[in-house]
Amino acid sequence: MNEATTCGRRCLACGAIESIGTSEPIWPVDWRCPACAKGASQVNGIPMFAPELADTVSGFDPKAFDELAGLEGTHFWFVARNRLIVGLARKFFPSARRFLEVGCGTGFVLQAMAESRQWERLVGSELHPTGLTHARRRVPQSEFVQMDAQNIPARGVFDLTGAFDVIEHIADDEAVLRGLRAATKTGGGTIITVPQHPWLWSRADKVAHHQRRYRRGELETKLRRNGFEILFSSSFTALLLPLMAASRLKDQKDAKELEAYEFKLNPVINRSLLEVLRAEVCMTLAGIRWPAGGSRVVVAEAI
């Protein structure tokens, strides 16, 4: 993929690229494109690049953010996934200092990344301002922007980008991958996590507004097609796959039963599952690649 001659913020109206000073926000709330004078509206100091989609049920129900914010900090899956993401960022991109998370939700992953090293620029983006309300409290040092992940207003700004269980919510997932590639400088990279195995499709996917579960190799193919080279790929929650399959293939009658079965776990069970996944993550970071599991994590370099 050809790199643009200039890198910086991108005007969504005319496509012009404007360079960014080291000490200024990527998208100042009063910013106007120098070429066409178009800008973004702002709400509570957050630039809004897709206000027409804000807090709509578009790939995700924003009502779920309040519950997620109270759940993520202790739930075994979210805690272990954070450890895996931070570990892979340290292993493959130790010198990265400018990070963008697309679909940052309540800021749980962004907070872990913020605490993992000193960043020159840390940015969280989300379609739904409801999620950003939580994210700003968790990561006050970060910049935040409301935008559609299919249309990222930046080019070549970041040396690390990520989307963690985001693109499965979007019909045109490759539009997001193209946007991530454009926002990532050549030689930088991205980390993507997605749900895996179509045979695991269940009511949980419908409740979560998923468009798909990924086949093995599908995400890697799409990343290559959009300007990335694969550095690492593995399943996640491999050791818990039998339990996950039993849960997902069980005939849950309604969303409340699903919530009780998968999210509101007995604390002893939750701690036990966390210990299993901690061991799995340690082995993954040591180089083991799991052929099957509930999720897929892929690390790729922008080429």
Q: Are strands 98-102 and 121-126 parallel, antiparallel or unpaired?
A: parallel
Place of tokens 């709330």: 29
Looking at residue 223, its pLDDT comes to 98
Helix (H, G, I), strand (E, B) or coil at 117: coil
Looking at residue 175, its pLDDT comes to 97
In tens, the pLDDT along 267-276 reads 999 999 999 9
In angstroms, the CA 247 to CA 234 distance is 22
In tens, the pLDDT along 180-233 reads 999 999 999 999 999 999 999 998 899 899 999 999 999 999 999 999 999 999
Structure tokens given for 46: 């957050």
Q: Give percent of the chain above pLDDT 90.
A: 84
For the chain, give the mean pLDDT. Answer: 93
The pTM score is: 0.94
First and final C-alpha spacing in the chain: 7
Task: For Cα atoms 150, 96, 76, give the angle at the middle one, nearest 5 degrees.
Answer: 70
